[in-house]
Amino acid sequence: MTEKKNKRRDPFARSDFEGKDPLDLIPVAKKAQRDRTWEKKNKAYSYRIPARLTEEAIEVRESILSIAAFNEYGEQRMDRTTADDVAKNLLDFALKQAQKENLTFQPTRAGKMKLQWEEVEQSWDSPIILKKIPPKKNKQKAKQIVVSYRWGQEFHAQIEGLAGAVREVEYREDGNIKNDPHRFSVSPGEVVVRLLQRALKVYINRKMRLTSHPKTVAQKVTGWASE
């Protein structure tokens, strides 16, 4: 009786596998494409902040981040409240107050004073002591920052309305809006900073509070109420 030998087949003995490393034949997982549906529906609106307001804008931004992380009692929020949620509610409050007060923004340009002279007949003041002027240093130009929040087209339109458009918007060939810093009487970025500053002051003085309500499966800041 002939003895049958067990033979094992080599899965890589096929001609199309010749000269290839078995590891190269293992399919590599492809990076999943991020779903941008929510971002498209909830567009972020960006505003260039005048250099002179850089520090104030940073303070506003940090205050909003703090409120998103902690409630009015200093307790860490255990919900999914974001900076966008806080900024949207603060702006909503500030815009309603602006409408009540008929608030308007006017350009604040520092004009040069016209210098003249006149003789003084008699003066009892002490002589003027001229101060020495320190040598000029190479001062770096303040970096312009941009703030961005998702608060909807309606709020964005109201901000531009308060800024006072002096000419129509112009578009580039690709369909995007041309950057025109002189299209408004007042920079929309300045309007944003001033409105948020007003709302933050009211919130800090506890004359307005942010309210949370369940939304889908989580709880987050969804409104505000006057105290």
Per-residue pLDDT tens, the chain, 227 aa: give them: 545 555 556 655 565 556 666 666 666 666 666 666 666 777 999 999 999 999 999 999 999 999 999 988 888 888 888 999 999 999 999 999 999 998 888 776 555 566 655 656 666 667 656 566 677 676 666 578 999 999 999 999 999 999 998 888 888 888 777 777 788 999 999 999 999 999 999 999 888 888 887 766 566 777 777 76
Q: Where are the beta strands (DSSP E) in 1-96?
A: 45-48
- pLDDT of 172 reads 81
* pTM score, whole prediction: 0.68
The distance in angstroms from the start CA to the end CA of the chain is 100
Question: How far does CA 133 lie from the centroid of its chain?
Answer: 39
Q: Which residue has the tokens 């567009």?
A: 43
Q: Which residue has the tokens 């009487």?
A: 185
Are the beta carbons of 83 and 91 closer than 8 angstroms? no
What's the token pair of residue 52?
Answer: 């002179």
- pLDDT of 33 reads 65
Quote the CA–CA distance of 118 and 121 in Å, as a whole number: 10
Q: Which of 198, 216, 218, 217 is nearest to 207 (CA)?
A: 198
Give residue limits of the domains in the chain. 40-103+143-227
